[in-house]
Amino acid sequence: MPLAPAQLRSKLGGVIAFPCTPFDAKLRLDLAGFRKNLRRLAEHDLCAIVVGAGTGEIHSLSTDEHLAVVKAAVAEIGGRRPLLAGVGFSPQTAIDMAKSSTAAGVDGILIFPPYYPGDPNDDGMHAYYAGVAAATKRGVIIYSRDYANFSPAAVERLATIPNLVAFKDGQGDLRRYQQIIARVGDKLHWIGGAGDDLVPGYYSLGVRSYTSSIANVAPRMSLALHVAAASGDRATVDRLMREYVVPLYAFRGRRKGYEVSVMKTMMDLQGQVGGRVRPPLNDVKSEEVKELKAMLGGWKMWL
């Protein structure tokens, strides 16, 4: 049985993995490869897995493809880990995706900001998130990213949505996040969602969950980073950041979209199914693949 909202919230301490969605050479969805990757991922002690989200290239999926990804994940994970689906785009599309994902058997919904060409106001944004949340009985998480950059007062109001259980920060503005947490307190569960490289900052605020794209390649490293940061083992955190995380994120920063492309290439290099990225993202340049292969050579203890 899927988890109730309170049950989902209780399980969200630790590492939340965001699997890539594999596409073949012709950019077709590779569900067999996706399930192969999930089998490996589910062996690790992750607190949740979110499919069809940012690292899963939600922006490039049709609604039918998104549902196929969700159904494949539900079948493969089989309740071994809490499973969530990302939803977004227009309000109605997000509602439809939330309904279909709920019917498919997910434990929760991660709500992306709506597509909007301007700067929406707090009332409109609240109506959007409340409307999507009302489309499911599962627990929902709001993903603050891009222009969905909320004030503490706006988050306090969002916290009144009955099945909202957590807030994922994707802004990386620790000052703002600190203000939000101070105002809203334990009404929501707080997630560090701007990258593995911000774990030291997030955990200094008392956050004890983070979303990891590194988990696609080295889930053991992601889990070690969480344990060290949560226990205050600064020496281990500093070493992991210096030797692995910071160099990787510097590489990913070379080109917009490389946060997905690089992880897919590293997955291919270690025998998983990463595959290509769909436009508007770009595949890693051929001359850079050797650099990533060399980087992975130093990751052997974590693979």
Catalytic residue set? 143, 168
Please name the amino acid found at residue 19. Answer: P
* 300/303 Cα distance (integer angstroms): 5
Alpha helices by DSSP H, 78-113: 91-104
Q: Which of 219, 179, 172, 160 is nearest to 200 (CA)?
A: 172
Helix/strand/coil for 286:
helix
What is the C-alpha R_g of the chain?
Answer: 18
| Token pair recorded at residue 9 | 């919230």
Please name the amino acid found at residue 53. Answer: A
| Token pair recorded at residue 263 | 């992880």
Please name the amino acid found at residue 129. Answer: Y
Who contacts 141 (Cβ-Cβ below 8 Å, separation ≥6)? 84, 108, 109, 110, 111, 164, 165, 166, 167, 168, 191
Tell me the longest C-alpha to C-alpha distance in the chain.
51
Beta strands in the chain (DSSP E): 14-17, 48-51, 83-89, 108-114, 139-144, 164-169, 189-192, 209-212
Q: Which of 193, 187, 229 is nearest to 210 (CA)?
A: 193
Q: Which of 188, 165, 63, 155 is nearest to 109 (CA)?
A: 165
* 154/82 Cα distance (integer angstroms): 28
Helix/strand/coil for 197:
helix
